[in-house]
Amino acid sequence: MSTELTMPKLGEVMEEGTVASWKVQQGQAVEEGDIVLEIEMDKAVAEVEAPASGVVTQILVPEGETVPINTPLAVIA
């Protein structure tokens, strides 16, 4: 079973975020709650946790790219 990691909505007015840096690589195992990336939004940087345990099978959005909330960022299987 796969789990999509999506761009979270971290504030009432947040409509998009930028992938600042990935803390994991494709093929890397993660545990639920591990920090997997940092996102930038309106003058702030936030850490995003893995929503499930497994292996990061795909990173869909590269560092530096800005996407709307709920956009799939990675797949954990």
Please report the pLDDT score of residue 70 as a whole number.
Answer: 97
Neighbours of 18 (CB within 10 A): 16
14-32 pLDDT, tens digit each: 999 999 999 999 999 999 9
* CA–CA distance, 10 with 59 (Å, rounded to integer): 21
- Ordered by where they begin, the domains of the chain are 3-76 (2.40.50.100)
35-73 pLDDT, tens digit each: 999 999 888 999 999 999 999 999 999 999 999 999 999
Residues 6+ apart with CB under 8 A from 64: 18, 19
